[in-house]
Chain A
Amino acid sequence: MTNFLMIIQDVLSTPALLIGAMALIGLIAQGKPIEDVIKGTLKTILGFIIIGAGAGILVGALDYFGTLFNFAFGVQGVVPNNEAIVSLALNEYAQATALIMAFGMFANILLARFSAWKYIFLTGHHTLYMAALIAVVLSVGGLEGWQLIVAGSALLGFTMVFFPMLAQKTMLKITGNDSIAFGHFGTIGYVFSAWLGSLFGKGSKSTEEIKFPKRLSFLRDTAVAIALTMFIFFLLVSVIANFREGFDIEMTAGLNWFLFSVIQSLTFAGGVYIVLSGVRLLIAEIVPAFKGISEKIVPNALPALDCPIVFPFAENAVLLGFLVSFIGGLAGLGILVLLGGTLSLPLILPGVIPHFFCGATAGVFGNATGGRKGAILGAFGHGLLITFLPAFLMPVLGTLGFANTTFSDSDFTVVGIVMGNIANVIQGSGLLIVSLVIFLIPIALGLVKSKKA
């Protein structure tokens, strides 16, 4: 008996096995045939192990980048990338992340059932990333054990209905119907963009009436886009470092600066590629199960879906949004450099993935409320926003705040900054109570609404 208990304990404390066990239970509960159960369980564990392997590769490239950046400019340089930071976070917080993700999805179903915000958040990789962020911030805030899991799941469930609710007004304008919702944790940036669009874009023509060069669409291949931008970043830091006194060729792995930049940018792109493959395997069983269960329990809830669902509604706004958001990111970097001396903030470089996906979505949202003016202003504002927010997130991430990468999309950074700063004041069990109160807000609002009706 004690042996059996020890095995259970080992499964619970070995994250890969814990995640596998959750997949196993989920697959059995759905009544899947035995071969599907075996295949699904193994692939889920495989996904987790692949993420760890990708993390190792990313750390290698980021270490070089961080050292060179610090040597060249004398400050910390950060390339925000969700996959990179999550793969690092999972090294330390995997067990809490897995449990928060599982129970957070139950919390989502509860809120969709009992509150006025009837959304089911189906973007599985973002659920995973948000679970990791919450696990880190609450752990740094002194929560542990069951309290960490309960508080984390409550918060995750809240974010899974709160952000789709926030985006729904503009989603109606974009899609023209009320059958789907939007589930992507960059919502604050998109709503900000839509707000700028409504302020300044009155009467502006839609972006879809301009002719736009289609050749830029090769950047939609993420591995290519990441490799190209990282190449430019590596080139910049290694060239400047080369001219500094005390430069050691070992900083560029004994290679010429150009070749070094080629190798390391592709190494980084390769690391992200591997992590993405791992995440794809990890969520492949979880999302359909979650979808199936939630459809049975809350049939009237709207599915909240990933950001590319809005891309076909405004293709030009997608490319325009990406470019302008990226320019906003560069402008934001310039401002951080100017402020650098006084605030000692890390420098946030424009990561291509957040600017592409979130910038593009911001473009679509801005276009919906303010035409081409709205798309341009909204995406630019979004670019500034996702440059400043990560700089303020870093201090609440504990040791992960010293990594040369961090969370990129606006909702991760806002949730991190808000909870992290609450955790600075209220430590331990108090934080659990705060989380539960936040969880109950939508249910209370639902009760008020139904009383009035």
Chain B
Amino acid sequence: MVKKIQCVCGVGLGSSFLVEMNVKKVLGKLGLKEIEVDHSAATDVYKGSADLYVCGKDMYNTLANQGPCVVLNNIISVEELEEKLSAYLKEVGVI
């Protein structure tokens, strides 16, 4: 079950916010508007703070082991996000 997606960057102000807007765009396309999407700093990530994390590959080491994570090589690419996010959602049976 994926109820909440948390997008993460260093201070949780700029790039995670852009990723959040992109995640919302992709979820809208997939018809999954009921999933809650938020953005935050790495400080605000703890086990269970979300069902899925989305971050750039430079942040992954900071987040590892907190839960499933979609890791982006290019954090502003909507195509890469759509591909990886829908692959994960398929894998866990949401779509």
Contact = CB atoms under 8 A, between A and B. Distances in A.
Given A217-B62, A221-B62, A308 B43 contact: no
B58 interface: yes
Interface string B62-73: 100000000011
A312 B73 contact: yes
B68 to A, nearest CB: 19
B6 interface: no
Interface in B1-52: 9-15, 17-18, 21, 39-43
Given A123-B14, A312-B57, A221 B43 contact: yes
Given A217-B61, A221-B62, A287-B17, A308 B42 contact: no
Contacts, number: 90
A312 B13 contact: no
A353 B41 CA distance: 13
Contacts of B58: 220, 308, 311-312, 315, 318
Interface string A270-313: 00010010011001100110010000000000000111110110
A306 B9 CA distance: 11
A227 to B, nearest CB: 10
A291 B73 CA distance: 23
Interface in A76-91: none
A305 B15 contact: yes
B59 A309 contact: no
B21 A306 contact: no
A122 interface: yes
B42 A280 contact: no
Interface residues of B, number: 26
Contact of A214 (B40, B43, B61, B75): B61
A36 to B, nearest CB: 13
Interface of A is mostly: helix
A113 interface: no
B83 to A, nearest CB: 16
Contacts of B74: 312
A247 B59 CA distance: 44
A308 B62 contact: no
A224 B11 CA distance: 11
A220 B21 contact: no
Given A273-B43, A312-B75, 4 more contacts: A125-B14, A220-B59, A220-B62, A280-B17
21 contacts: A124-B13, A124-B17, A126-B14, A214-B61, A217-B62, A220-B10, A221-B43, A223-B43, A273-B43, A276-B11, A276-B41, A280-B17, A305-B15, A306-B9, A307-B14, A308-B14, A308-B15, A308-B56, A312-B75, A315-B58, A357-B11
